[in-house]
Amino acid sequence: MTWDWEFAWEALPVVLDGLLVTFQATVLGSIVAYALGLVFALMRRSPIRVVSTATWLLIEFIRSTPLLVQLFFLFFVLPGFGVTLSPLVAGVIGLGLHYACYTAEVYRAGIEGVPPGQWEAATALSLPRSRTWSGIILPQAIPRVLPALGNYTISMFKETPLLFAIGLPDIVGEAFEFASLNFRYVEPITIAGILFLLLSYPSSLIVRYLERRFGLTH
């Protein structure tokens, strides 16, 4: 099958519409993942054993089940319990919760990487616990984990096509729908793939720069 430039130009605006939805899901999902991941990391360090154990079990359960199954549960199963979510909301919650369980471990590693002397100094100065975390520990831990968080954002971006399974018109969904209507798949799917590459590769270069910037690679 030959490449049809006229059809490709017709498909491009449709695919770009889907790209906006993909960006929206990725950005919102990342915000949820970063915030919730930090909460999970702090709960894992809770002195209350029930809290830390329950958080660990939740993280392991979510990490051990496929993201697609979790999306199906949010979108198709929850309505049976009276909770109905739109495709975008279900997608953002699914992506955010799934990746929060990975970012939680990243945060935990960053926190544990803070020198013990910093904790001892805060204790010696009788700083409140909230001040110790906000003013000493997290400002040192978070820069260490930025490259890893960036990698997870890129992974999330590349997994957004799974949202098409719950009816969200993302970049791949729009490309597939347009291709199905015209019985021609080469151009729309290829354009979607090229856009993924053009966005993912520069992002990976930025992550590598952050790794070098914070001395995480040699």
Q: What is the pLDDT of residue 130?
A: 75
Q: What is the pLDDT of residue 38?
A: 92
> Structural domains in the chain?
5-213 (1.10.3720.10)
Q: How far apart are CA 27 and CA 75, in angstroms?
A: 20
Q: In this structure, how many other beta carbons lie within 10 angstroms of the beta carbon of residue 10? A: 14
Looking at beta carbons, which pairs linking 52-59 to residues 24 or more positions away fall under 8 Å?
Answer: 58/101, 59/101, 59/104, 59/105
Q: What is the pLDDT of residue 215?
A: 55
Q: What is the pLDDT of residue 214?
A: 63
Q: What is the pLDDT of residue 53?
A: 94
Q: How far apart are CA 168 and CA 174, in angstroms?
A: 9
Per-run averaged pLDDT (10 residues), the chain, 218 residues: 84 92 94 94 90 94 94 95 94 96 90 79 75 78 83 91 90 90 89 89 80 58
User: What is the pTM (predicted TM-score) of this model?
Assistant: 0.86
Q: What is the pLDDT of residue 209?
A: 78
